[in-house]
């Protein structure tokens, strides 16, 4: 009979699953996260995996991880240090032990700690025996051996049996966190419904892991995390890439414009293309182009034809699209470009996240080619900012670059699904047929947007292309004064968008000793760190920017209220350079991190404290 376990009540917990690339850690973490969401916990996740398609097995270079922060309160980050670390081999332990809190629970596959595995990981001695893990609560389970034993009566080959060990360890975690198995059992049944032997193997391994945890003496207590308070509604654990795709679909429906995506697959943006390809029933047309240039040019062609033209990419792809971006500017057509940033330059670190493409987005084109630049701040917010990017692009007849990043694109959080009817109206300036006064570059006197004249609309023939045009009539022109006029108009049109975006908000006091400034995907970490400082009685506020070009109208007024301004970015200081250009009247401090990893709340609070202590 199993001994009764103690129950530990916790407000929040950080769990990290790590193993070899083939150990299924991404799926394990996702299933664990989905189960936590169904239990009513709020959460944020951070998948972290190698760039190599198949790195050498059992090496540090091949370690794949999935971190989830769950709690009974609002969760803004995927967490700093983990309370529970699941390590499937020596290499994953070596690569991630530094992220485990002192006293953390570490669940290990003891079977993997053989002489060969220990040597390939770079250990000189076995960490299970040399005392290096004495400050942690170890649960050493022969997971691989126990998994094979549990499947002894299932007709399945040895290789497939080995692959189910992630389900065994997931069963252990479900017992540890008092989770129900039913939803995951149902998921396995649906995913492998055409392979009954695979269904049986995975379900058997999951139950075996749960039963093992129930009886093993090393687990003396289980963890209970209550449901988080949430508004009533329908929720989904959603990644930033999927949320961005949904936002674009909503914008197409709300505007009445058909959606066309022309893109080339690139990490970490490919999932937007994949998600939109699932929704042909909603009218989405998806074209997987042969390269980045073909992707954006096809989207511009679709925009010319009257569709919501979209292209998605990451930093290297944005470089290749730069000439066509200028084409979209000079033709004054709507176009949404989503750049899911990754560590660069060049190929860089494809699966690691940075904020290092801001200056490229602002200035990476030949000639005078201004465009709207926006940045999402969390996985769920990718829905709203992709929607707003489409709205502003269509209503103001100009391209918009929306910056997300790999951390947001792959990471997930709970998303309350809105009704499309509750989203802001989108009113593209479509030119009516047979308008006797139609001129291709006649503009709205307030927004300066020209009309959108879809080909085939009766009476609306006009020239379009990369050559400069005359204002109003749209005739090809090399007249110097006309060129100056058109350059000024295109820039003024973008700057007038400041009248249609929200004013900048501040979290905290309107006047404080220190204003922390961030932009885009650092919001969760900065909000958590500033919140901790405020609870401790420090005079700190936060301004997180999502609208970059143009900046909100009240930016200068906000910055003027604070004694010290600290700009925090996951790059070498791109937004602070931009602020020094646009608002040179203020003095800026900066804190930068370029490691392919997000900020940690602890490191931020230490920086804030040091600055507050300086005279």
- HEC profile of 504-523: CCCECCCCCCEEEEEEHHHH
Q: What is the pLDDT of residue 529?
A: 97
Q: Is residue 551 in a domain?
A: yes
Residues 383 and 420 in one domain: yes
Q: How many alpha carbons lie under 13 Å from residue 105 in its C-beta half-sphere? A: 21
Peptide bond into 230 cis (omega under 30): no
Q: Taking each helix axis as running N to C, give the angle between helix 182-191 and helix 165-176, from 0 to 180 degrees, rounded to the nearest 10.
A: 160
333 has pLDDT over 70: yes
How many other C-beta atoms are found inside a 10 Å radius of the C-beta of residue 56? Answer: 13
Find the mean pLDDT for residues 158-165: 88
What SS3 state is found at 593?
coil
pLDDT surpasses 80 at 547? yes
- In terms of residues, how long is the chain? 615
Please list, in sequence order, all residues whose beta carbon lies within 8 angstroms of the beta carbon of residue 545, skipping any fewer than 6 positions away: 375, 504, 517, 518, 519, 520, 551, 552, 575
pLDDT at 452: 97
Query: Which residues span the domain enclosing 389?
Result: 233-501
* C-beta atoms surrounding 319 within 10 Å: 16
pLDDT at 159: 83
Question: Span 580-608, mean pLDDT?
Answer: 97
pLDDT (tens digit, 9 = 90+) per residue, 336-353? 999 999 999 999 999 999
Q: Which residues make beta-bridge pairs with 372? A: 400
Residue 301 falls within a domain, yes or no? yes
Quote the Cα angle for 527-528-532, to 5°: 115
509 is a domain residue: no
Helix and strand totals (H; E) in the chain: 21, 21
Identify whether 154 is part of a domain: yes
Domain boundary among 224, 245, 268: 224
Contact 231, 414 (CB under 8 A): no
**Residue 438 sits in the same domain as residue 368:** yes
Cα(308)–Cα(65) distance, rounded to whole angstroms? 37
Using the predicted structure, report yes or no on whether residue 2 has a pLDDT greater than 70.
no
- Distance between CA atoms of residues 557 and 103, nearest Å: 47
Q: Is residue 1 part of a domain?
A: no
What is 330-385 written as a DSSP string? HHT--EEEEEEE-B-STT-BTTS---TTHHHHHH-SSSS---EEEE--STTHHHHH
- CA pair distance 573, 579, nearest whole angstrom: 10
Is 108 found in the same domain as 135? yes
Domain boundary (440, 475, 501) is at 501
- Asked if 246 and 362 sit in the same domain, the reply is yes
- Is residue 539 located within the same domain as residue 422? no
Mean pLDDT, the chain, rounded, equals: 95
pLDDT at 220: 85
What are 542's strand-pairing partners? 507, 516
Residue 260 and residue 208 share a domain: no
Q: What is the C-alpha radius of gyration for the chain, rounded to an integer number of angstroms?
A: 27
**Is the same domain home to 248 and 180?**
no
Closest to 401 (Cα-Cα) out of 548, 243, 254 = 548
Angle at 185 between CA 181 and CA 191, to 5 degrees: 145
Residue where the block lists tokens 């081999």? 89
* β pairing state of 308-313 and 335-341: parallel
What confidence tier does 52 reach under pLDDT thresholds 50, 70, 90? confident
Are 161 and 17 contained in the same domain?
yes
* CATH value at residue 478: 3.40.50.970
At 229-268, the pLDDT tens digits run 999 999 999 999 999 999 999 999 999 999 999 999 999 9
For residue 506, is it within any domain? no
State residue 393's pLDDT score. 98
State the pLDDT confidence band at 158, using cuts at 50, 70 and 90: confident
Convert the pLDDT of each residue in 286-301 to its tens digit. 999 999 999 999 999 9
pLDDT of residue 3: 62
Whether residue 153 is predicted with pLDDT greater than 90 in this model: the reply is no
DSSP of 209-233:
HHHHHHH-TT--EEEE-PPPP--SS
Same domain for 144 and 10: yes
172-200 per-position pLDDT tens digit: 999 999 999 999 999 999 999 889 999 99
Tell me: pLDDT of 55 over 80. no
Do 216 and 286 share a domain, yes or no?
no
Contact 401, 388 (CB under 8 A): no
pLDDT reported for residue 162? 87
Going by pLDDT thresholds of 50, 70 and 90, the confidence category of residue 486 is very high
DSSP 383-413: HHHHHHHHHHHHHHTSEEEEEEEHHHHH-EE
- One domain, residues 412 and 536: no
Provide the domain count of the chain. 3
Give the pLDDT score at 51: 75
23 has pLDDT over 80 = yes
* 3-class state of residue 107 by DSSP: strand
pLDDT in tens, 110-152: 999 999 999 999 999 999 999 999 999 999 999 999 999 999 9
Q: Which residue has the tokens 């400034």?
A: 517
What whole-number percentage of the chain has pLDDT above 70?
A: 99
Tell whether the model's pLDDT for residue 396 goes beyond 70.
yes
């Amino acid at each position: 009979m199993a001994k009764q376990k103690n129950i530990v009540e916790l407000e929040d917990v950080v769990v990290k699953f790590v193993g070899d690339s083939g150990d299924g850690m991404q799926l394990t973490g996702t299933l664990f996260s989905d189960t936590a969401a169904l239990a009513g916990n709020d959460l944020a996740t951070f998948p972290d995996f190698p760039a190599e398609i198949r790195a050498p097995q059992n090496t540090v270079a091949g370690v794949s991880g999935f971190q989830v922060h769950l709690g009974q309160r609002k969760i803004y980050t995927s967490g700093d240090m983990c309370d529970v670390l699941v390590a499937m081999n020596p290499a994953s332990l070596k690569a991630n032990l530094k992220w485990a809190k002192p006293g953390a629970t570490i669940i290990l596959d003891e079977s993997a700690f053989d002489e060969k595995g220990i040597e390939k990981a770079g250990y000189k001695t076995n960490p299970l025996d040399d005392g290096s893990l004495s400050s942690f609560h170890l649960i050493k389970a022969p997971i691989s051996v126990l998994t094979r034993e549990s499947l002894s009566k299932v007709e399945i080959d040895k290789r497939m049996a080995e692959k189910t060990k992630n389900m065994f360890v997931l069963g252990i975690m479900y017992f540890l966190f008092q989770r129900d198995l039913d939803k995951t059992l149902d998921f396995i049944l649906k995913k492998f419904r055409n392979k009954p032997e695979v269904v049986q193997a995975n379900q058997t391994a999951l139950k075996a892991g749960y039963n093992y945890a129930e009886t093993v003496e090393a687990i003396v207590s289980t963890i209970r995390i209550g449901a988080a308070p949430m508004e009533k509604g329908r929720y989904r654990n959603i990644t930033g890439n999927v949320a961005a795709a949904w936002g674009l679909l909503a914008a197409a429906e709300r505007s009445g414009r058909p959606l066309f995506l022309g893109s080339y697959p690139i990490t970490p943006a490919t999932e937007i293309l994949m998600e939109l390809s699932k929704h042909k029933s909603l009218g989405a047309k998806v074209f997987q182009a042969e390269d980045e240039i073909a992707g954006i040019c096809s989207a511009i062609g679709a925009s010319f034809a009257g569709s919501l033209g979209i292209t998605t990419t990451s930093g290297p792809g944005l470089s290749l699209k730069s000439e066509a971006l200028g084409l979209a500017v000079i033709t004054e057509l709507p176009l949404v470009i989503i750049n899911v940033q990754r560590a660069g330059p060049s190929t860089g670190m494809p699966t690691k996240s940075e904020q290092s493409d801001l200056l490229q987005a602002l200035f990476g084109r030949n000639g005078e080619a201004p465009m709207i630049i926006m940045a999402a701040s969390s996985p769920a917010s990718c829905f709203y900012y992709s929607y707003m990017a489409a709205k502003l692009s269509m209503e103001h007849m100009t391209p918009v670059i929306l910056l997300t990043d790999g951390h947001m694109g792959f990471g997930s959080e709970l998303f309350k699904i809105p009704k499309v009817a509750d989203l802001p109206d989108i009113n593209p300036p479509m030119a009516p047929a047979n308008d006797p006064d139609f001129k291709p570059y006649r503009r709205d006197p307030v927004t300066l947007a020209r009309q959108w004249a879809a080909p085939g609309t009766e009476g609306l023939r006009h020239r379009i292309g990369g050559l400069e045009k005359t204002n109003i009539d749209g005739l090809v022109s090399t007249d110097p004064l006309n060129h100056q006029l058109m350059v000024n108009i295109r820039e003024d049109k973008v700057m007038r968008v400041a009248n249609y975006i929200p004013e900048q908000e501040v979290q905290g006091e309107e006047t404080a000793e220190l204003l922390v400034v961030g932009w885009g995907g650092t919001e969760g970490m900065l909000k958590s760190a500033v919140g901790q400082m405020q609870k401790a009685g420090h005079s700190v506020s936060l301004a997180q920017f999502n609208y970059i070009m143009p900046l909100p109208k009240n930016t200068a007024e906000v910055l003027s209220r604070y004694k010290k301004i600290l700009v925090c970015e996951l790059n070498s200081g791109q937004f602070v350079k931009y602020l020094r250009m646009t608002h040179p009247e203020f003095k800026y401090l900066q804190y930068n991190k370029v490691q392919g990893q997000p900020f940690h709340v602890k490191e931020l609070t230490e920086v804030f404290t040091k600055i507050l202590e300086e005279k």
